[in-house]
Amino acid sequence: MGSTVFQNSYIDMLLLKILQKKDMYGYELIQEIENIPNSNFRVKTGTIYPILHTLEKQGYVIAYEKSENSRQVRKYYKITEAGKRCLDCKIQDWEKYSAAVNYVLEG
């Protein structure tokens, strides 16, 4: 089955994990990721919006629009139960992957 271990940067996992804490809109997620301390992470809009659309198609998040105190409408994303299960899988994959990499580095 899917041993696509080496074609996975775990952005999806990070997005789902962040959304597990609270609903956010795309632009907010970009800043959240770029503000991870000591990371220097950079995610482009051309990366994140398509990923969010895909996660939505897969049923891992649900999108809804919300306008706070003005006409400005933002598209919020909420993690679903399926998304939480998917997140658990991806976390397991990550732990297995990072443990294996660290095994080589320490061996």
Binding flag, residue 38, DNA (CB under 7 A): no
Binding flag, residue 39, DNA (CB under 7 A): no
- The 10 Å Cβ neighbour count of residue 46 is 7
Q: Which is nearer to DNA, 3 or 39 (CB)?
A: 3
DSSP symbol at 67: E
Q: CA–CA separation, 13 vs 22, rounded Å? A: 15
Q: CA–CA separation, 38 vs 20, rounded Å? A: 22
Q: Which is nearer to a second copy, 85 or 96 (CB)?
A: 96
Q: Which is nearer to DNA, 49 or 94 (CB)?
A: 49
Longest dimension (CA), the chain: 58
Pick what 35 binds: DNA, a second copy, none; C-beta below 5 to 8 Å, kind-dependent: none
Pick what 71 binds: a second copy, DNA, none; C-beta below 5 to 8 Å, kind-dependent: DNA
Strand 24-25 versus strand 73-79 pairing type: antiparallel
Which residues would be at the binding site for DNA (CB under 7 A)? Answer: 3-12, 25-28, 42-47, 49-53, 70-72, 74-76
